Amino acid sequence: MDRRRFLTAIGASVGAGLVLGACGPLGRSGVPDGEPTLILRNPSYELVAGSERRYAFLLTDAENRTLDVDEVELWVGDEQEEIVAGPFPATYHEEGEETFGTFRGFVDVPDPGVVFLYAVAGGEHGRAAIEVVAAEESILPGPGAPAIPSDTPTTADDFGWAELCTRDPDCGMHEISLADALAEGRPVFLAFATPAYCQTTVCAPAVDVAEAVRTSGEDWGDVAFVHVEIYSDEAATVTGPVTEWGLPTEPWYYAIDREGTIVERVDGPLIAEDVAELVRLVR
């Protein structure tokens, strides 16, 4: 896959909520009447159905300015925009997005299908649509599926890529390949992201956050931290591991246990608490 096709997929994911969410006035439950006056930017590709599913998003006013609030309410609507769950608190974090900051909460999305997510703050709201899938029906590797044992570059073998890691300085997540870590029966925190060529404004800070957690001093045991770049040559060619995992967007993060089974996955912006929780799931 070349860069243009990859970015088209990214654009479709991030922009879907703004297009799909443009119909019909609201006036149900805690969602204010009228059309959205806030911009809810959805960096996630899809959510796995279940309770307390992590959802991180960007929320700004119509002039693209950060909201001066510490917490907003999230509501969940079905395909007919009927409110079916909520409210769920979402709190603001400066980590995870270098311009606007990230709101992050946990929502219940028990049934597969398209859902509308509404963020309410100070009598205003923004909304976005996102696909909810059953874990076993996702086209992407997800919880319960075996991890794909891709060969990934390391400091000992950079595969001839233009850059092993586009973070400056390089992160320390290139000491062992994914294939070798799985073969050794080690738990893995796996990050697919490109700090320098990120197209969704969330990759670079998330790699910084992951690296900060890795070096935080907490005992992570023998967990292997593995980072894989999205492009092999200045954002022109998508790397082999990204293609093998079938990832249509960026960034993605996986927690893999000692048996090589995916325990959890996350896409979009991350905060330190999220990274630490992913690692603790498999440590």
Predicted model pTM? 0.85
pLDDT value of position 95: 66
Other C-beta atoms lying within 10 Å of the C-beta of residue 260 = 18
What are the residue ranges in the chain where pLDDT is below 70?
Answer: 1-28, 95-100, 199-204
pLDDT value, residue 276: 96
Please tell me the predicted confidence (pLDDT) of residue 253.
Answer: 96
pLDDT for the residue numbered 246:
96
* pLDDT score recorded for residue 104: 94
Structure confidence at residue 201 (pLDDT): 57
Q: What is the pLDDT of residue 236?
A: 80
Q: How many CB atoms lie within 10 A of CB 167?
A: 22
Is there a cis peptide before residue 241, judged by omega within 30 degrees of 0?
no
Per-residue b or e along 29-60, where b marks 16 or more CB atoms closer than 10 Å to that residue's CB: bebbeeebebbbbbbbbbbbbeeebbbbbbbb
Q: Which domains does the chain have, with CATH numbers?
A: 11-136 (2.60.40.1930), 178-282 (3.40.30.10)
Distance of CA 239 to the CA centre of its chain: 19
Q: Quick one: pLDDT at residue 64? A: 87
The pLDDT of residue 100 = 66
Q: What is the pLDDT of residues 98-112, one digit of tens each?
A: 556 789 999 999 899
